[in-house]
């Protein structure tokens, strides 16, 4: 039987590594600033909150026409691959020319929001 160990950043709870090794063996070098718990998880869907493996919440972001609403503070907005720091909870998109633009909003611990807008 195998044992699984999750390594996460103590400051954010973000999972950095997942290890699997034979039961009774543990060859993981513990790093300063990281915590370790038993279990199976992936950083796309989980993080560690107060020492407990927790599902990452869905993003609260919504798109209303050309306005992104409910954007968490300090999010990163990607428009066609270009990144922008968002400090307000609403963003009015000002796009240079007609077309379809892929959008992504990242803000830890929320899951990424993905969408597109056509002008």
Provide the residue range defining the domain that includes 83.
Answer: 62-118
Residues 72 and 45 in one domain: no
pLDDT at 53: 94
pLDDT at 73: 92
Residues 15 and 51 in one domain: yes
Residues 66 and 99 in one domain: yes
Out of 13, 28, 55, pick the residue that ends a domain: 55
Out of 25, 40, 55, pick the residue that ends a domain: 55
pLDDT at 51: 93
Written as one string, the DSSP assignment of the chain is -EEEEEEEETTT--EEEEEEEETT---PPP-TTEEEEES---TTTEEEETTEEEEPPPP--EEETTEEESPPTTEEEEETTEEEEE-SS-EE---SSSSEEEEEEE-TTSPPEEEEEE-
Could you read off the pLDDT tens digit of each residue along the chain, which spans 119 residues?
A: 777 889 999 999 999 998 888 877 777 788 999 999 988 888 889 999 999 999 999 999 999 999 999 999 999 999 998 999 999 999 999 998 999 999 999 999 999 999 999 98
Residues 73 and 103 in one domain: yes
Q: How many domains does the chain have?
A: 2
């Amino acid at each position: 039987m195998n044992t699984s160990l999750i390594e996460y950043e103590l400051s954010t709870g973000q999972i950095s590594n997942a290890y699997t090794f034979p039961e009774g063996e543990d060859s993981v070098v513990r790093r300063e600033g990281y915590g370790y718990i038993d279990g199976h998880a992936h950083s796309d869907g989980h993080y560690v909150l107060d020492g407990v493996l927790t599902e990452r919440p869905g993003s609260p972001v919504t798109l209303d026409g050309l306005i992104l609403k409910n954007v968490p503070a300090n999010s990163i907005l990607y428009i066609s691959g270009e990144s922008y720091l968002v400090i307000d909870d609403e963003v009015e998109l000002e796009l240079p020319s007609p077309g379809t633009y892929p959008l992504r909003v990242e803000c830890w611990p929320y899951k990424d929001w993905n969408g597109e807008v056509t002008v």
